[in-house]
Structure 1
Amino acid sequence: MTALADPGVNDVLPMVFNALGGISNPNLRLLAQEGEAAVGRSGTRLDARALADLRSSGTTAVNITLGYVFGDEDPFEYSVAEIARWNRNIQAHPDQLLKVRSASDIRTAKESGRTGVIYGFQNTEMLGTDAGRVATFAGLGTRVVQLTYNGANAVGAGSMVPENTGLTPFGHDVVAELNANRVLVDLGHSGEATCLDAIAASTAPICISHTGCRALADLPRNKTDQELRGVAQGGGVVGIYFMPFLAEDSFPGAVDVVRHIVHAINVCGEDHVGIGTDGGTTQIDDMPAYHKLIDDEIARRKAAGIGARGEKPGVVPFIPDLQGPDQFRKLATLMADAGLSSRVIEKVLGLNFLRLVEDVWGQ
């Protein structure tokens, strides 16, 4: 690996905090030809290879998606069952995984050579019409809640809602409950008006766990400079993803991830940008077969009305040259090549999100 331009970041990575990621082996989907949507079912492909790659990647903590995102399941019951299943996953691998309830758990994971698993939702449908359920899920260990997925719900509008409506009265109640229960508010996937309303409504710093910069790629899943700046001004952090939305009309690569990170730093400042890859750390073995599987999944998502503009045949939901357990080391090298100092690289890789959860969850 190319040595970094600035001392202090080397082959032994500093803290890596993935604000939205996964722990799974996607190749098992090819073997089984499951064809199921990956979001919301992150634990079904947990195996020895996924755990080994996670450890090798240097990931200190990762916010995983569990609970209801979309589909025919009862949102509340499914979410409770998902939490129970992930509790069993972690209990089965106590030497490798640690359930995160506080910021100190992340430091403990780092010190003990484990990965901290943060329970996060990518929707609020499981709340039904009862904002008080926030306390129930917080008690079960949910630490991050994304207000909407791509569509509209009782809280607000997702990024694919044409009307771009804002946070609803119920949405204000939910944000207040999240604040009261020290749960991190996540505005990934939200529409612009809902995002800006939630920024104004929250009394605690918030995050956008996984997004890109709309100034560089004008797609709904990316955030405007106004949204990015609003998160930073409130003390929050924006995570840049490893997703196809980083380029409008081409196939994005690692260079585009760095481009979006640099732009976000220019808008938000170096203390308010991190990473939320929206992916795992196990590489695809058979890319042609995986392309076919993903093309079929994109068609199903479009038919179900949950797809996003920028999802298209031939484009996989990750950055091909930032796959596998070396992805964070490669990114660190590329950030150094782009002129970012070791101090800034360490902040982007993990320290900024660690500071944020210390602020929101407490030590």
Structure 2
Amino acid sequence: MLEKPAGRYTGYTAYDYLEPGVDYRQFRYAKQLGRVAPYAGLELSDAEKERTTRLLSDETVISLHEHVQVFPEDMGELREHIRQGREPTGYLGLAHSGMTAVFDNGMDGTCCISSDAGWKYQDVIHDLGVRMADIAHQDFVIKGETLADIEYARETGRIAHIFALEASTMIENEVDRLDVLYGIGVRQMGIAYSEANTLGSGLKERGDGGLTYFGERAVERMNKLGIAIDVSHSGDRTSLDVIKHSRLPVFITHAGARAVWPTNRMKPDDVIKACAERGGVIGIEAAPHTTLSPDHPHHSLESVMDHFEYCVDLVGIEHVSFGPDTLFGDHVGLHDAFAANLSIAQAHSHIDHPRVEYVDGVENPAEAFFNIIGWLVKHGYSDDEIRLVVGQNTLRVLKEVWVS
């Protein structure tokens, strides 16, 4: 991560405009910096470190998928924390991240304000609205809705925070809800999470019926609105149907290659190729126990980059990016607490592998891109190639998909 925070950051903490203990319940939160030991697996020379820092600071760096909230230090308090409907954004960690823009996917699957099952429309609207109200009270992280917002963030040393949702489950059978979500700032949406919904099948289902007729209507509406579509958690047939039916490129915002690690959570070659052939991009995932590899089954940056290199060889560097899927706090603890909601067992197919406490080198949003860029520098990638995978590939798709 950057040693010094971004110059625009003034020290703002989430909900500083409110009174803790009066307006909301305060929890003890995880550290945004230094929660785990620094990554020791990447030894950069002074010249390589300088080049890494320059690229991170000067280029447009976009994460296709993160959760930039801060979680309680005691994950036993997680449900109480979520139920009050006030997730805190990790401004300090973001100030050290070097990112220009970040797609923040909230916690819609675990947003249990009114129901422990998650995915409820009223809960998602509440979660989005409260987060947006907090962002509006400071001037470092800005609400990102257009390409101009991303460019403004790059020029002024800010971060464009782009709201996204991992599935469209909360729209139920109401296609106009997509307009509402777009109107309040959502610019990227998944089709289905692990479980099937009215649009199509998720990756955990025994059978995949593909995109439904209602799903086709939803895809068409997303195209018209300018909502980028994500198929990371959709089933294989549903993913292929979405890619075919969408008249615009589609993202796989956070996944890896099933040919490298054979679980449902990873994408097969035909889906990755179809996405690329229609102009789309796959963002490489780094959430705990996802992008493992036979060479690096102990999940770390090295495992993640095994998937990156496989995808580059498969579809070309112009169609690969990063969606590390990190957060501030105990990500493994989150998965343990919400294993049923997130269909962890079904998605990971019970393949034996070493269990880690965190993904070494890609543990949180503050460190992810310094280490990713450092790895690329260390392994001989050119500045132009690095620019593509950390931002320009994503921008190319957004220029086609977004309306402005």
Bigger shift: 132-141 or 113-122?
A: 132-141
Mapped partners of 1:96, 1:329: distance in 2: 20
Long gaps (5+) in structure 1: 285-289
Partner of 2:309: 262
CA 278–318 in structure 1, closer or farther in 2 if over 3 Å, else same: farther
1:96 is displaced (CA, Å) by 1.2
Residue 394 of structure 2 is aligned to residue 349 of structure 1: no
Answer yes or no: is the 8 Å Cα contact 1:291–1:316 preserved in 2: no
Answer yes or no: is the 8 Å Cα contact 1:121–1:145 preserved in 2: yes
Residue 125 of structure 2 is aligned to residue 80 of structure 1: yes
1:347 is displaced (CA, Å) by 1.0
Partner of 1:24: 69
Aligned residue-pair number: 347
Mapped partners of 2:316, 2:85: distance in 1: 32
1:12 is displaced (CA, Å) by 4.7
Answer yes or no: is the 8 Å Cα contact 1:60–1:110 preserved in 2: yes
1:294-305 correspondence runs (5 A): 294=334, 296-297=336-337, 300-302=338-340, 304=341
1:25 is displaced (CA, Å) by 2.8
Bigger shift: 212-221 or 129-138?
A: 129-138
CA 38–11 in structure 1, closer or farther in 2 if over 3 Å, else same: farther
Residue 348 of structure 2 is aligned to residue 310 of structure 1: yes
Query: What is the TM-score normalised by the length of structure 2?
Result: 0.78
Answer yes or no: is the 8 Å Cα contact 2:88–2:131 preserved in 1: no
CA 268–362 in structure 1, closer or farther in 2 if over 3 Å, else same: farther
Give secondary structure in 1 for the equivalent of 2:347. Answer: coil
Partner of 1:160: 204
Answer yes or no: is the 8 Å Cα contact 2:361–2:367 preserved in 1: no
1:7 is displaced (CA, Å) by 9.6
CA 257–42 in structure 1, closer or farther in 2 if over 3 Å, else same: farther
1:2 is displaced (CA, Å) by 3.1
Give secondary structure in 1 for the equivalent of 2:160. Answer: strand
Give secondary structure in 2 for the equivalent of 1:271. Answer: helix
Bigger shift: 5-14 or 184-193?
A: 5-14
CA 294–118 in structure 1, closer or farther in 2 if over 3 Å, else same: closer
Mapped partners of 1:296, 1:55: distance in 2: 29
1:1-363 correspondence runs (5 A): 1-2=44-45, 9-13=52-56, 14-26=59-71, 29-31=72-74, 33-36=76-79, 44-46=87-89, 50-66=90-106, 68-69=108-109, 72=115, 75-93=120-138, 95-243=139-287, 244-247=289-292, 250-280=297-327, 282=328, 290=330, 293-294=333-334, 296-297=336-337, 300-302=338-340, 304=341, 306-307=343-344, 308-310=346-348, 315=355, 319-324=359-364, 325-363=366-404
Partner of 2:9: none
- What is the one-letter code of the residue matched to 2:390? L
Answer yes or no: is the 8 Å Cα contact 1:39–1:65 preserved in 2: no
Answer yes or no: is the 8 Å Cα contact 1:322–1:330 preserved in 2: yes
Deviations 1:170-197 (A, max 9, x none): 1111101101111101111111000000
Root mean square deviation, CA, Å: 2.9
Answer yes or no: is the 8 Å Cα contact 2:188–2:227 preserved in 1: yes
- What is the one-letter code of the residue matched to 1:51? Y
- What is the one-letter code of the residue matched to 2:248? A
Query: What is the TM-score normalised by the length of structure 1?
Result: 0.86
Mapped partners of 2:132, 2:325: distance in 1: 21
Give secondary structure in 2 for the equivalent of 1:320. Answer: coil
CA 259–291 in structure 1, closer or farther in 2 if over 3 Å, else same: closer
Partner of 1:287: none
- What is the one-letter code of the residue matched to 1:306? S
- What is the one-letter code of the residue matched to 1:65? N
CA 273–147 in structure 1, closer or farther in 2 if over 3 Å, else same: same
- What is the one-letter code of the residue matched to 1:89? D
- What is the one-letter code of the residue matched to 1:91? A
- What is the one-letter code of the residue matched to 1:310? H
CA 361–187 in structure 1, closer or farther in 2 if over 3 Å, else same: same
Deviations 1:96-141 (A, max 9, x none): 1111111111111111111111111112122121212212211121
Mapped partners of 1:134, 1:232: distance in 2: 25
Bigger shift: 123-132 or 187-196?
A: 123-132
- What is the one-letter code of the residue matched to 1:174? A
Mapped partners of 1:256, 1:228: distance in 2: 18
1:293 is displaced (CA, Å) by 3.5
